[in-house]
Amino acid sequence: MTDVLTMYEWFERSAVRHPDLPALEAGGERLTYGELRTAAEAVAGRLVEEHGAPPARVSVMATRSVVSLVGYLAALRLGATVTPVNPAFPASRNRMICELARSEVLIADAADAAQLDKELGGAVPTALRLAADEVAAAGRAGVAPARPLPGPASSPDEVAYVLFTSGSTGRPKGVPVRHRNVSPYLAHNIARFGVGPGCRMSHTFDLTFDPSVFDLFVTWGGGATLVVPGRAELLSPVDYVSDHRITHWFSVPSVVSVSAELGNLPTGRATGLRMSVFIGEQLSYDQAESWRAVAPEATLVNVYGPTELTVACTEYTLPADTGQWPKTSNDTVPIGPVHGFLEHLVLDERGRPAAEGELVVRGSQRFDGYLDPTDDDGRFLLYGEDGVTVYDGEGELTAEHYYRTGDRVRWEDGHLVHLGRLDNQVKVRGYRVELGEIEAVLRRHPAVRQAVVVALRDGDDTELVGCYTGEPAEPGVLARALRKQLPVHMVPRRFRLLETMPLNANGKIDRPRITSDLRSLRPAPTAG
Residue 418 pLDDT exceeds 90: yes
pTM over 0.85: yes
The per-residue pLDDT for range 255-290, each reduced to its tens digit, is 998 888 888 899 988 999 999 999 999 999 999 999
**pLDDT band at residue 428, thresholds of 50, 70 and 90?**
confident
**pLDDT band at residue 525, thresholds of 50, 70 and 90?**
very low
Mean pLDDT of the chain: 92
What would the 3-class secondary structure string for 97-160 be? HHHHHCCCEEEEEHHHCHHHHCCCCCCCCEEEEECHHHHHHHHHHCCCCCCCCCCCCCCCCCEE
Mean pLDDT over 474-496 rounds to 91
Residue 67 pLDDT exceeds 60: yes
**CA pair distance 259, 240, nearest whole angstrom:** 12
Mean pLDDT over 424-429 rounds to 74
Least confidently predicted of 81-95, 176-190, 356-370: 81-95
Mean pLDDT over 325-352 rounds to 96
DSSP letter assigned to residue 111: G
The per-residue pLDDT for range 279-328, each reduced to its tens digit, is 999 999 999 999 999 999 999 999 999 999 999 999 999 999 999 999 99
Mean pLDDT over 425-430 rounds to 72
One-letter amino acid at 366 equals R
Mean pLDDT over 19-45 rounds to 96
Helix extents (H) in 246-312: 254-261, 285-294
Q: Which of 335, 242, 230, 220 is nearest to 284 (CA)?
A: 335
Q: Are 417 and 332 in contact (CB under 8 A)?
A: yes
One-letter amino acid at 40 equals A
Q: Are 274 and 247 in contact (CB under 8 A)?
A: yes
DSSP 378-430: TTEEEEETTEEEE--S-S---TTPEEEEEEEEEEETTEEEEEEEGGGEEEETT
**CA pair distance 148, 45, nearest whole angstrom:** 8
Q: Are 60 and 68 in contact (CB under 8 A)?
A: yes
Mean pLDDT over 413-428 rounds to 86
3-state secondary structure of 333: coil
pLDDT of 528: 45
pLDDT of 459: 65
**CA pair distance 181, 364, nearest whole angstrom:** 6
CA angle 204, 207, 208 (to 5 degrees): 115
Buried b (16+ CB within 10 A) or exposed e, 330-355: bebbbbbbbbeebbbbbbeeebeeee
Residues written for the chain: 528
